[in-house]
Chains A and B, each alone.
Chain A
Amino acid sequence: MAQAFPAARFRDAAFPWLLPVAILAGWQAAVSAGLVSNRFMPAPLDVVRAGSEAVRTGELWTNLGVSSLRALAGFAIGGGIGFALGLANGLSRLSERLTDTSVQMVRNVPHLSLIPLVILWFGIGEEAKLFLVALGVFFPIYANTLHGIRSIDPALVEMGRVYGMTRAELFRRVVLPGALPSIFVGLRYALGIMWLTLIVAETISASSGLGYMAMQAREFMLVDVVVLAILIYAALGKLADTLTRMLERACLSWNPAYRSA
């Protein structure tokens, strides 16, 4: 129905943005009216100005690029290892008995508590950030991949065997697609942890990146830049979530729970 009229479609799309826009407007009004000191909270327009300034000098793009690259590289390393180990432990009893207990023990250590140790090992170079992000995303991907493979309906596996599927075919056509919804849950968690870890790591020890930009701004009391950095985190989080959602819809369209309305 909503597809038929462009106006109705626009209204549908705009609806979720109503609340954020109202908050922004209220915030701007509060600062302009002097209810809130702009030493503590800059007006949205000040933040926009700080943003355009950062874009003009190129500082924003450099920091954004550096942070994104770290995030993605760390994610690829940690997620890749987590996925591979999750598969191995889901498919092989031996592998699970060998490694799962150790993984579960390490999992209960908050990975950010390793920051002092990591700084001692790696200094404040790129390795430290990569290590922390990789460690952070490893666990949700590992645990959910393992869970996904465990929860596959054995009746379907038997069906595949009866119809003469080889082990590789069974994996590709039954096990992996069956585990995919759970793997996506892990992916979403991991993306959240990825940003969190990176920002914390950059705030504590870095010489470039978004977290570094925010810390520098604090040193010079540039509240608008601090808020700008926080807003960029929000936007990046939303972007990652949207991409995951699109991927889910493409890969899980068979599942009524994920079908687009």
Chain B
Amino acid sequence: MLLDALHRDAAVPARDNPEPAAPPRVEARPQAPQRGLAVTVRDLHKSFDGNPVIGGLDLHLPGGSFTAIVGRSGCGKSTLLRLILGLEEPTSGRIAIEPPPGTPPRAVPPRRIMFQEPRLLPWARVLDNVAVGLTGMGSRGERRDRAREALREVGLADKAGQWPATLSGGQRQRVALARALVSGPGLLALDEPLGALDALTRIEMQDLIERIWRAQDFTALLVTHDVAEAVALADRILVVDGGRIALDLRVDVPRPRRRGDPDLARLEGRILDHLLGTPQAA
């Protein structure tokens, strides 16, 4: 139902557009039903058994933004994500998650995470797995209808009655995406969700995630060690090193982005130089 509303709203700006020649996809960010949660992190510290993993990190993510966090293994990027999602308790510091102004307290959209593994329940059919995303919301019939809609969104409507074991890795990850999105989240955290997929499936999934993000206006936070993926998807890239933000870059390349775009390649090179510690190109 929520998805329908979004489709309808998405059509409105296109009709009012003074320049009919402009490609509608670029203009079509919906204005009315803002639900992207804003995230503010202040002086965040987290240590495990006395070993600091995050040390004094500050961060603000505006509602509806798409941010990627990159960094070497063990730099604390996944921990930061889990802290923001509330899966871990900070040692000290503050994390504030704010809905768009004027949101009634009961209508605050949920936070969702997509893990590196799909984590589907093997004993539940695909449709019921998606409906897990609506746990505690609405009646069983409503949950199933919305789950069906979300499955259609990720292109797996025909797999609704199958067991997860019969799907390919990419399809399972798409089911996990549908489960994360079915409740209309305000924040979607992606913890290297495409790391285990082959290169082509990965590109397809990136396009799917981008398309759905543009249609649904949630705040997206992607943790990845694939710099090309970060550059292709995000508006902003944070390089985390030693539990702090070492580099904060805007990606001002218009969407839809073409793979192999020279601007993207330049950015990717800059980030890789930083990560590998070679002297920065001007």
Contact A169 B135 (CB under 8 A): yes
Contact A164 B136 (CB under 8 A): yes
- When the two chains form the complex, which single residue of A156, A174, A180, A254 contacts B165, counting CB atoms closer than 8 Å? A254
- Point out the residues of chain B lying under 8 angstroms from A159, CB to CB: 115, 119, 132
Type the 1/0 row for B96-131, where 1 means its CB is closer than 8 Å to any CB of A.
Answer: 000000000000001011010101011110000000
- When the two chains form the complex, which single residue of A163, A173, A254 contacts B163, counting CB atoms closer than 8 Å? A254
Contact B119 A156 (CB under 8 A): yes
The residue on A at minimum CB distance from B189 is A162
Residue B61 at the chain A interface, CB threshold 8 Å: no
Type the 1/0 row for A136-169, where 1 means its CB is closer than 8 Å to any CB of B.
Answer: 0000000000000000000110111011111001
Residue A256 at the chain B interface, CB threshold 8 Å: yes
- Point out the residues of chain B lying under 8 angstroms from A169, CB to CB: 135
Distance from B281 Cβ to chain A, minimum over Cβ atoms (Å): 41
Contact B117 A162 (CB under 8 A): no
- When the two chains form the complex, which single residue of B110, B119, B123, B165 contacts A155, counting CB atoms closer than 8 Å? B119
Residue B87 at the chain A interface, CB threshold 8 Å: yes
Complex Cα–Cα for A156 and B115 (A): 11
> Given A254-B165, A256-B165: A162 and B121 within 8 A (CB)?
no
Inter-chain contact total with CB atoms closer than 8 Å: 48
Residue A177 at the chain B interface, CB threshold 8 Å: yes
- Point out the residues of chain A lying under 8 angstroms from B117, CB to CB: 155
The residue on B at minimum CB distance from A178 is B123
Residue B275 at the chain A interface, CB threshold 8 Å: no
Complex Cα–Cα for A160 and B120 (A): 10
Q: How large is the interface on B (under 10, 10 to 19, 20 to 34, 35 or more residues)?
A: 20 to 34
Residue B133 at the chain A interface, CB threshold 8 Å: yes
Interface size on A, residues (CB 8 A): 21
Contact A254 B122 (CB under 8 A): yes
Contact A162 B113 (CB under 8 A): yes
Contact B122 A162 (CB under 8 A): no
The residue on A at minimum CB distance from B85 is A162
> Given A155-B115, A254-B165, A256-B165: A163 and B123 within 8 A (CB)?
no
Residue A255 at the chain B interface, CB threshold 8 Å: yes
Complex Cα–Cα for A160 and B123 (A): 14
- When the two chains form the complex, which single residue of B113, B115, B119, B135 contacts A165, counting CB atoms closer than 8 Å? B135
Complex Cα–Cα for A160 and B129 (A): 11
Distance from A167 Cβ to chain B, minimum over Cβ atoms (Å): 13
> Given A158-B87, A164-B136: A255 and B122 within 8 A (CB)?
yes
- Point out the residues of chain B lying under 8 angstroms from A254, CB to CB: 122-124, 163-165
Contact A156 B121 (CB under 8 A): yes
Q: For chain B residues 178-237, which have a beta carbon within 8 Å of chain A? A: 179
Contact B165 A163 (CB under 8 A): no
- Point out the residues of chain A lying under 8 angstroms from B87, CB to CB: 158, 162
- Point out the residues of chain B lying under 8 angstroms from A165, CB to CB: 132, 135-136
Contact A255 B121 (CB under 8 A): no
Query: B residues near A, CB below 8 A?
Result: 85, 87, 110, 112-113, 115, 117, 119, 121-124, 132-133, 135-136, 163-165, 179
Query: A residues near B, CB below 8 A?
Result: 155-156, 158-160, 162-166, 169, 173-174, 177-178, 180, 252-256
Could you list 11 examples of A-B contacts with CB < 8 Å? Answer: A155-B115, A155-B119, A159-B119, A159-B132, A162-B85, A165-B132, A173-B132, A177-B121, A177-B124, A253-B163, A255-B122
